[in-house]
Amino acid sequence: MPDRAHERAQTLDSAIEASLASLSLPSSKDLMAQLRTYLSRQEAEIHKGNNVHSILRKAESRARVTITLGPTFDEGPTDQHFHLESGARLSFGVNLREANGRCALVAYRFQLNLPESRTSSFYRFDLNREGHPTPLYEPRCHIHPGLEEVRLPFPALTPVEVLDRIFLVIEPELITAQP
């Protein structure tokens, strides 16, 4: 059975591709507003001094849009991160293809660096631009469970759905587990 692992991984990656094709997002302007509202509501609850309007940024080029929060690479806490109540910090980059007032996901990265007290230092949710020749090791959509070279398949979620997992699933556990 292990000798068919690559085949099974390819089947799973194909299913992710199919689900991605059916994911349709609103315009980049509307998605930006949704993300800004989502994070503003979180900040209104936790009062961590996150200035959502200054840290959520957008760049466009020839019908391709990049929405970013925080630094491109996490090298330690900055005032550009979104800081959560638990002490975790969030940065992300979402890449879109826009046409006729709608967007399709091209790629994304959501990096949640956990509080220092945790043994696992980060989670990162990645959607690659396209599939990899060996999806067993690099599924198109995956999560890094605190290890750069470990990528476990993950459903293709919309950016808001990723934030739901970060803020409503992971973060409450981080707070509960605080010493």
Binding to other proteins (CB under 8 A) within 73-112 occurs at 73, 93, 95, 97, 106-109
Number of helical (H) and strand (E) elements in the chain, helices listed first: 5, 8
Q: Should residue 21 be labelled a site residue for other proteins when binding is judged by CB under 8 A?
A: no
- Using the rule CB under 8 A, give the single segment among 11-19, 128-136, 162-170, 171-179 that binds other proteins: 128-136
Handedness of CA 165, 108, 58, 70 (dihedral sign): positive
- Cβ nearer to other proteins, comparing 60 with 173: 60
- State the Cα–Cα distance between residues 57 and 77, nearest whole angstrom: 18
- Among 3, 22, 61, 100, interactor with other proteins by CB under 8 A: 61
Q: Is 10 in the site for other proteins (CB under 8 A)?
A: no
Burial of 96: CB neighbours in 10 Å, binned 0-12, 13-18, 19+? buried
Nearest CA to 55 out of 38, 40, 70 is that of 70
Binding site for other proteins (CB under 8 A): 29-30, 32-34, 36-37, 40, 44, 51-54, 56-66, 68, 71-73, 93, 95, 97, 106-109, 126-132, 138
